[in-house]
Structure 1
């Protein structure tokens, strides 16, 4: 095994470990949209309601939730104000995200025994190849275009292609894209990747071997952004993650 293949395998193993973890997207058992009327759910303690202040949970006898270092016991508790990142409550061996989504409050429980997670058989990938590590050039926009920060131009098969990019973590660029494999051997929505940090001259590397699925490839309880039309590549990117494998098939959202 070459150094390139060994590094890719270590990255893939780490990715699979996260996907199989107790906080994996596949551990989500539901997404509950709260109203002003308190409602109980089978997968999280308490009766929940939501309004502009955040989420209110009323715990009954013997019900406990932990928020950070604080243990919530019997009674009514306000969790808020909330943003889209929200907060996490834990209970027994499970947790739940409590967050704002477009002015509405959600509770999204995660259980290590989720049927979806137990059915997961791994994410197959195309064989890694250095030929899919391509040099690129970041060209920032002079004026904002929504949240997009610029475009990455790169050559493939003698032609220059461009992908709209957003700010990633630690100075990288985040890209959503579709290609000729989309809906065939890769997930029907899109895939994502991050570039290296641009040099002062704007040079980046695009490693399609590390293109990964969006959360919506693994659960019906996630909402994922779609790439702009310009980010549909006219060729097959036979690199990175393919359609996840589940046995039996993952149940769909009613």
Structure 2
């Protein structure tokens, strides 16, 4: 990391665009399929028969399905746990396509990633505001003491629980502001927020991921690294919308704003 925050930001932005446009990045997601929506086991356009069975998914494949499991052509039946690693390391494939098994809220689903997806082929970059030191502000994390579950709408139209661990307090535009945040593995914070630019100059909401707070709760809040959510790149992601209290009444013209246009 350089000593120039502008250069650090440029490198971060370039790395983000590279990750988004990678063969199995978010632009390659072509489908998210809840197994409960397909009780007969057949998912349109996805080869094989997929059924939830307790803590596993049972996949049955025939010769005509063209599936591979663990890198080898597969026919028969196999029991699958949720994939934990990178998409390209998922156990089930069909040519370059990768099928990721996941579980959310007790429900099983299969995600279909295809490097040849049109959004990936037509990607032109991410529009982002150049680094501005005014949008790096000191903050304080105030934990709740216990996780508070809040029901919020998700991008697929369903409501789900969002576990919030505390509040991030900071000052912008001459006033104190607060965002309700989750704590991720490793201690970093995660907020889903909207502001006065949302739906206009920026996507309808964005993510913010400050680092883990210090022992006294202090943390740097850098809006230059506000992120587009995965559902900005593919409609099949389940991004949660901002919880109550996380729509700022000021404009935040910083960070990623939207997909670049032709």
Question: TM bucket by the smaller chain?
Answer: 0.7 to 0.9
Change (3 A) 1:64 1:84: closer
Question: Is the aligned partner of 1:231 residue 2:231?
Answer: no
Aligned-partner Cα distance in 1 for 2:245–2:141: 16
Query: What SS does structure 2 have at the residue aligned with 1:185?
Result: coil
Shift of 1:40: 5.4
Shift of 1:72: 5.8
1:57-78: per-residue Cα shift (whole Å, max 9, x none)?
22222633224xx746211222
Shift of 1:53: 5.0
Shift of 1:90: 3.0
User: In the alignment, which residue of structure 2 is the partner of 1:77?
Assistant: 78
Kindly report the root-mean-square deviation, in angstroms, between the aligned alpha carbons of the 2 structures.
2.4
Matches within 5 A, 1:1-254: 3-34=4-35, 35-39=38-42, 41-42=44-45, 44-61=46-63, 63-67=66-70, 71=72, 73-80=74-81, 82=82, 88=90, 89-146=92-149, 147-188=163-204, 190-245=205-260
- Contact kept? 1:52, 1:103, Cα under 8 Å: no
1:177-196: per-residue Cα shift (whole Å, max 9, x none)?
110000001112x1111112
Aligned-partner Cα distance in 1 for 2:42–2:83: 21
User: In the alignment, which residue of structure 2 is the partner of 1:252?
Assistant: none
Aligned-partner Cα distance in 1 for 2:83–2:95: 25
TM-score norm. by structure 2 comes to: 0.83
TM-score norm. by structure 1 comes to: 0.85
Can you give the 5+ residue segments of structure 2 that lack an aligned partner in the other structure? 150-162
- Contact kept? 1:163, 1:177, Cα under 8 Å: yes
Runs of 4+ with >6 A deviation: 83-87
Can you give the 5+ residue segments of structure 1 that lack an aligned partner in the other structure? 248-254
